[in-house]
Chains A and B, each alone.
Chain A
Amino acid sequence: MKDKLITRIIQIAGFSSILIVLLIFLFLLREGLPALSEVSFSDLFATRWYPIEDLFGILPLFSGSLLVTFFSILIAIPFGVGTAIYIAEVAPRRVKEILKPMIELLAGIPSVVLGFIGIVFLSPALREWLNLPTGLTAFTGALLLALISIPTIVSVGEDALNAVPQSYREASYALGITRWQTIWRVTLPAARSGMITAVMLGISRTLGETMAVMMVTGNAPTMFKGIVSLFKPTRTMTATIASEMGEVASGSTHYHVLFFIGIVLFLFSLIINIVSNHFSEKNRKDKEQVVS
């Protein structure tokens, strides 16, 4: 009797995550969809974001998010993948035991702390080195965000490399191939889909990051105008929601549009995560085939 009750409770808990995702989507739609009736489609997908004058063009925010995310991932991939290779393939055991907790520590540093470092150290430093009018730029944001996505890339990537059967490496050594070539030509390609998952999850983290990017990118909604935009202030979708939601009247057009941006972010993260999960499943299945 007691057993049945507990089993039932556990079952309900098991299904709760479906309910929660639906609730989140429902509430975002409830508060965000009115935006589509209050702002015409062409005004919403316009290039000026200036809510005080009722200009709700979300393209600059979109452009800001893409700009920062793209360059951040460009920086994070070599460091993330390189460190994953080092930990999984090269590092002696003792070094590994120091490195892994450090990467976890980086994952645990709150983004507001990184944003603070960005304000007091990184942005003044960049302003001086690169001789910029302001250190609060998309590039500053990209650098900080790279720090945020590196732990994700390292830990998922390391798992992917560890999942490559040892027999691959042994076969490669037996053919007289050096360790480096084995990593580069055998292990890494074998872990390809896991590596793709790692990078995609990194992108997802970067795109959704809010505080650090809001604190250091200068909060100016501008469109991408070539590579110079990287060294100018910008504004991401997440930062816009975070900095403006506190000041809007609930139920106003501005409020609805901010929720609409939330829907866009939600759908983006959903797509990235489901696709990356597909790759990691593929990674697992590939490995199973080899073993059997």
Chain B
Amino acid sequence: MNTANKPGAITTRKVKDSFGYTLIHIISFFTILPIIGIVLYIIYNGAPTLTWDFLTSMPANGMKAGGILPAIVGTLYLTIGTAIFSVPLGVAAGIYLAEYAPHNNWTRIIRIAIISLAGIPSVVYGLFGLGMFVLFLKLGNSILSASLTLAIMTLPTIISTTEEAMRVVPERFRVVCGSLGATKWQGIRRIILPEAMPGILTGVILGLERAAGETAPILFTGATFFLPHLPTSPLDATMALPYHIFVISTQVPGMPLQIQFGSVLVLLIFVLIMNIWATTIRNRARRRRQW
């Protein structure tokens, strides 16, 4: 059955071609489907719970009634705390790698260190935070310990995006700065850094978004299940949305489902806002960029 003549081969190729194309479309569709599904499912089930009262009142009746104010405030505190520690250090480290680092073995080691940090499981960061901040530095189970732990976890993201954002600024900007008599730092501060700012901000927000949603690193460094009042000092333990969701969905029997969905929706909105914010900054900068 020798039908492998020319027209036949071309038909087979065409069939294969359209088959491959269809397959890729189907696969991509099924990758996107769960994302849309999850988001809509949570919005649909959580929206009825989402009242002003739910957002602004304290939990009551062993979490089974009332609102989730302390968890929302706690997550805000943790996110801000993380930013305070990770942004200056991460941006500075990114500037170093983009502008100062020589091509030598030390720089290579720094890069390996950053890659390693990026891969460490979040629960291992939690262990480290427990060992170093909670026990060794005696900061206790506190917002401070948890923020420091989250900050270290966020660091590699901020460093890499800062470096990348600075690198895309064309070399001629630096040359012109130098030729105008500016010192290296003046050039960076006045010209390169502002040009790279949208990229840096995008990275910072995406890093903080991840930190805000993390549970494992704060499990034993600062999260607590219930707090009768809002935290008053950085050395207080705090409630946090992700930890709260974990506890009410696994540890509390008879937890009303609508409260669970409501809490999940609040966290999702928090994350969505940061995500859209980052995307907007990036897109706007890309449109405006003149080089």
Contacts and interface: CB of A to CB of B under 8 A. Distances in A.
B242 A246 contact: no
Interface string B114-150: 1111111111111110111001100000000000000
Interface in A91-123: 91, 99, 101-106, 108-117, 119-121
B21 interface: yes
Interface residues of A, number: 85
B275 A269 contact: no
Interface string A80-95: 1011011100110000
A242 B216 contact: yes
A18 B126 CA distance: 19
B117 A14 contact: no
B35 A102 contact: yes
A87 B93 CA distance: 32
Given A17-B156, A113-B268, A178-B17, A108 B206 contact: yes
Contact of A16 (B36, B93, B210): B93
B31 A83 contact: yes
A81 to B, nearest CB: 9
Given A99-B32, A110-B212, A258-B127, 16 more contacts: A7-B184, A16-B89, A23-B128, A23-B132, A82-B23, A108-B271, A109-B271, A112-B213, A113-B264, A115-B249, A179-B17, A180-B16, A181-B13, A250-B135, A259-B127, A270-B120
B113 A208 contact: no
B201 interface: no
A30 B24 CA distance: 49
B122 A210 contact: yes
Main secondary structure, interface of B, reads: helix
A27 B136 contact: yes
Interface of A: 2-3, 6-7, 9-11, 13-18, 20-21, 23-24, 27-28, 30-31, 78-80, 82-83, 85-87, 90-91, 99, 101-106, 108-117, 119-121, 147, 150, 154, 178-181, 183-184, 201, 204, 207-211, 215, 238, 241-242, 245-246, 250, 258-259, 262, 265-266, 269-270, 272-274, 277
B215 interface: yes
B100 interface: yes
Interface of B: 13-14, 16-21, 23-25, 27-28, 30-32, 34-36, 38-39, 41-42, 88-89, 92-93, 95-97, 100-101, 106, 109-110, 112-128, 130-132, 135-136, 152, 155-156, 159, 183-186, 206, 209-210, 212-216, 219-220, 242-243, 245-246, 249-250, 257, 260-261, 264, 267-268, 271-272, 274-275, 279
Contacts of A103: 31, 35
A250 to B, nearest CB: 6
A266 B95 contact: no
Contacts of B118: 273
A269 to B, nearest CB: 4
Interface centre among A16, A101, A184 (most CB of B within 10 A): A16
Contacts of B214: 110-111
Given A17-B155, A28-B124, A82 B24 contact: yes
A13 B184 contact: no
Given A7-B185, A90-B24, A108 B93 contact: no
A17 B93 contact: yes
Contacts of B260: 116, 120
Contacts of A87: 28
A27 B131 contact: yes
A11 B95 CA distance: 9
Contacts of A108: 206, 209-210, 213, 271-272, 274-275
Contacts of A14: 92-93, 96-97, 100-101, 110
A3 B27 contact: no
Contacts of A117: 38, 41-42
A184 B13 CA distance: 13
A23 B149 CA distance: 12
A57 to B, nearest CB: 20
Contacts of B92: 9-10, 13-14
Closest 10 CB pairs of A and B: A208-B121, A110-B213, A14-B96, A82-B27, A13-B92, A273-B119, A180-B20, A27-B131, A210-B216, A86-B28
